[in-house]
Structure 1
Amino acid sequence: MTRRGVAGLVLLAAVVLLAFAGPLVSPWRWDETDFTAFRQGPSARHWLGTTQGGRDVFALVLRGAQKSLLIGLLVAVLSTALAAVVGTVAGYAGGPVDRALMRGADLLLVPPPLLVVAVLAPARGWPVLVPLLAALMWMPAARMVRAATLAAREREHVLAARFAGVGVPRLIVRHVLPQAASLLVADASLTAGVAITAEGGLSYLGLGVRPPDVSLGTVIADGQGAAATWPFGAAAGLLVLIVLAVNLLGDGLRDVLDPLRDAR
């Protein structure tokens, strides 16, 4: 793996470890309120200070990081899986099936994403936000997978497997999808970063994670009174680190899995 990939992996592992192991050593739970400390700076009692509601910033940021990482992972898996299925089926089947699937993907690009999320997500919270974001992100990747499938289905080993009587599902999984592996890995990393950023922005606007739960977006919104406050800086900084780590890791994995990397 490249240096960027290793750096991304190490940074992401550190963030995940901090997010899930940090609460074990924190003196406060994310849902606790200290009625003697409202909007205070860092101290021995509250390591990153408190919010204007008296909640511990360190515990809140770690809870928000857990939720943002979970949402990014789920959206990336769902979106990439959907793109892989639609793209390979459209590219391999061709004809009317190809046209119907691609026209459907084009139609899904028409509705404004923010409007769709604003209508469907607020009353239901993040469990609906995850499939909704995935449904809004798979179309460009599906087109790339379709193009890779169109090229792969005419290769000698694929034609030989088809003439040997290999079933279509097995043929696609074993001989076609590996040709699009680098595309899918790159798309998954990009989608995870975009999903985490989108969730943070939507939660900031009140369209994502709903109270009493928190995400990095809600912590940022809680510290919006002044950009220099600890809630804003800690949550925004961790959000940037997560997105940076995911993108670096995705670049590294793409370089490793790209079958044409040695020819370039």
Structure 2
Amino acid sequence: MTEDARVGETLQAGALRGIGARPRLHEWLRPWRRFFRHRLSLVGAVIVLVLLIAAIFPQQLAPYDPYTTESRTRGETPSWEHPLGRDEVGRDILSRLIYGTRVALLVGLGATAFSGGVGVLVGAVAGFFGGRVDTILSRLVDTFMAFPDLILIMVFVALIGPNLANAMLGIIITMWAQYARLVRAEVLSLREREFIVAARAVGVRTPRILFRHVLPNVMGPVIVLATLNIATAILLESSLSFIGLGVQPPEPSWGLMLATGRAYILKYPHLVTFPGVAIAITVLGFNFLGEGLRDFADPRSKLR
């Protein structure tokens, strides 16, 4: 008899009563109704969608080449031809903001995906096996979380060299511990549940239990944390680029645009205004979306 057949018999026997039942339609719709009633989450979803479109199709959306300079029109204020004006060397600011979206989302999504993958695996192993394995991994997590993220990344990037790849690697190194701690706590509460005990009783192998039955039940909180951490990663990248440890000139980055424009803030305030607004809107968009997903994933949330 196969493992799936034995687990199926256990389900039918009642040990997992209700787990295998197919949810009714209204049960599927309830979390979506919560999400769509959360107005700020809809605003966040629209912002994120616009950012994704800008990041995927920058060549089609940008009106000018973001690298082309024009010394005679540097610092030009917004006009019909250049809605956001030109920067200190005559480059179109709108085009550079659009191309900068690609950098921001590359770091935000990429660093979050890699750090989340590492953290989920470490947290699941620590919480499921417990004992000495849990102690060692938990102390490792505590060590990484003891340092401020930005300070640790600055030291790391300063040692190996400033560029976008190293900045992403530094963000991954600092963010994975958050997922590990979250997943460990969730797994500790799940490993003694009836459906896990039943799976062990019928001889299901540990890796199968972990990846088939445990991890799917902890992904809700992980997705919420990941959405919020995308905004954090974008802020970290902008901060690193601002101090010269992230994206290097002439590549378009919102943080780098702030850094190069700060010397002209009194004469050409639009050089720093628009990149700052872009960062703020992006962070708010992902935070609003994360709040909506938190209500979506929380079964205790009730409609009002």
Scaled by the length of structure 2, the TM-score of the pair is 0.80
Aligned pair partner of 1:54 in 90, 95, 109 = 90
Q: 1:41 and 2:80 equivalent?
A: no
State which drifts further: 170-179 or 98-107: 170-179
Match of 1:223 in 2: 261
Match of 2:118 in 1: 82
Aligned residue type for 2:143: L
CA separation of 1:47/1:262 partners in 2, compared to 1, >3 Å: closer, same or farther? closer
2:200 and 2:216 map into 1 onto residues whose CA distance is 16
Check conservation: 1:181, 1:258, Cα contact below 8 A: no
State which drifts further: 18-27 or 147-156: 18-27
Gap runs ≥5 in structure 2: 1-31
Q: Deviations over 1:87-117 (max 9, x none)?
A: 1100000000000001111122344544433
Check conservation: 1:80, 1:187, Cα contact below 8 A: no
Aligned pair partner of 2:63 in 27, 43, 57 = 27
Superposition deviation, residue 213 in structure 1: 1.4
After TM superposition, what 4+ stretches of structure 1 lie above 4 angstroms from structure 2?
Answer: none
State which drifts further: 130-139 or 102-111: 102-111
Aligned residue type for 1:226: I
State which drifts further: 64-73 or 207-216: 207-216
Check conservation: 2:119, 2:180, Cα contact below 8 A: yes
1:111 and 1:144 map into 2 onto residues whose CA distance is 18
Q: Which of 1 and 2 has greater Rg?
A: 2
Check conservation: 1:189, 1:247, Cα contact below 8 A: yes
2:231 and 2:70 map into 1 onto residues whose CA distance is 34
Aligned pair partner of 1:241 in 256, 281, 292 = 281
Aligned pair partner of 2:166 in 128, 131, 147 = 128
State which drifts further: 2-11 or 92-101: 2-11
State which drifts further: 155-164 or 168-177: 168-177
Secondary structure, counterpart of 2:102 in structure 1: helix
Secondary structure, counterpart of 2:133 in structure 1: helix
- Counterparts of residues 243-262 of structure 1 (less than 5 Å): 243-261=283-301
Check conservation: 1:75, 1:191, Cα contact below 8 A: no
Aligned residue type for 2:265: A
State which drifts further: 243-252 or 21-30: 21-30
2:271 and 2:97 map into 1 onto residues whose CA distance is 8
Match of 2:26 in 1: none
2:66 and 2:100 map into 1 onto residues whose CA distance is 9
Secondary structure, counterpart of 1:90 in structure 2: helix
Q: Percent identity?
A: 33
Superposition deviation, residue 17 in structure 1: 2.0
Scaled by the length of structure 1, the TM-score of the pair is 0.92
Superposition deviation, residue 43 in structure 1: 1.9
Match of 1:206 in 2: 244
Superposition deviation, residue 19 in structure 1: 4.2
Aligned residue type for 1:249: L
Gap runs ≥5 in structure 1: none
Match of 1:67 in 2: 103
Q: CA RMSD in A?
A: 2.1
1:114 and 1:237 map into 2 onto residues whose CA distance is 21
State which drifts further: 92-101 or 178-187: 178-187
Check conservation: 2:62, 2:98, Cα contact below 8 A: no
CA separation of 1:117/1:158 partners in 2, compared to 1, >3 Å: closer, same or farther? same
Secondary structure, counterpart of 2:72 in structure 1: coil
Superposition deviation, residue 182 in structure 1: 2.2
CA separation of 1:180/1:259 partners in 2, compared to 1, >3 Å: closer, same or farther? farther
CA separation of 1:47/1:145 partners in 2, compared to 1, >3 Å: closer, same or farther? same
